[in-house]
Amino acid sequence: MKRYYKLAAFCILVCGMLLPILSHSKEPSLSQTVEIKLKRLRDTAGISALVSDYSSRIQSSQILYRGRQAVKYSTVANGSNYWSDGRFMPGSIMYNKKHYDSVYMNIDAFAGNLEIKIANTDISLVLDPEKVEAFCIGKRPFVYMGSEQTLLPQGYYEVLYCGEVVLLKGVRKLLMSSVDNMNGTDGIGYDDPHYKMGLATYYKYLPYYYYLNGNEVKRLKRGRHILAFYPKERRAIKNYLHYKYNYATIDIERYIVEVASYAESLK
């Protein structure tokens, strides 16, 4: 009997040690989390259109359009506080576990907020980020990486590539001042035909890129830094890019996406 109790106690001890490990191993990695969020957005697309009850659709929309009103900045500056420019574009969003289509959205990269536009008005609302799972602005997919993880700075990210690895892009806007011409990608982030040369204040465009492989997270400060993750395929990748682009310089976004997709095709 004593032997039985000792064996039982040993089994309980072992199970107690293994259970946290096993439960932890079932949690999705960071790159899998991005993929899951995008999959939910895709899988629920069209479901909202199947809801035939008009009152249900209205009630659902009221939940989405319940955010606080976005701040209108009084500072006069070149460029835009938004992710790319000030235009709100239609798209779909997974918000509070519900899918919404034909929502006009833009990201305030200065404040880090996702805003939605109320139809036929100049009013935009700020959504609760912890209720945002994934969304598309046009054909560009985005995710919110929030308090459920600690490996990335919390915020909104554009998903540039989602395969065996994931490539994310974040954007910050800072209010700065310069007498130089800051129009274009290296300044305000885009070419503004209405740029005012006599105005020194501008929104500085600061993009940043991340490479995700499981729970491995690396910031890519330069495009070529991604080659470090493909030591065996490095020569083939460089030859491929030289041949495809005839040694021309390409921007960092296209470069890292080309590298990741071509490296995956070699496996």
Verify that 185 and 235 share a domain, yes or no.
no
| pLDDT (tens digit per residue) in 80-128 | 999 988 899 999 999 988 899 989 999 999 999 999 998 888 889 999 9
Among residues 121, 86, 128, 93, the alpha carbon closest in space to that of 107 is found at: 86
pTM for the predicted model, two decimal places: 0.84
Residue 41 resides in a domain = yes
CA distance 196 to 40: 43
Verify that 141 and 261 share a domain, yes or no.
no
Residue 84 resides in a domain = yes
Apex 252 CA angle, 203 and 195, nearest 5: 30
Verify that 263 and 135 share a domain, yes or no.
no
Q: Got the DSSP string for 126-166?
A: E--GGGEEEEEETTEEEEEE-TT-SSS-SEEEEEEEESSSE
Structure confidence at residue 17 as a pLDDT band (50, 70, 90): very low
- CA 10, distance to chain mean position in Å, is 47
Verify that 109 and 238 share a domain, yes or no.
no
Verify that 193 and 246 share a domain, yes or no.
no
What is the total count of domains within the chain?
A: 2
CA distance 27 to 30: 9
pLDDT at res. 148: 86
Domain that holds residue 162: 28-220
Q: Which of 63-72, 125-134, 178-187 has the weakest average pLDDT?
A: 63-72
Among residues 124, 109, 114, 127, the alpha carbon closest in space to that of 72 is found at: 124
Verify that 87 and 144 share a domain, yes or no.
yes
| pLDDT (tens digit per residue) in 128-150 | 999 999 999 999 999 999 988 88
- What does DSSP assign to residue 78? B
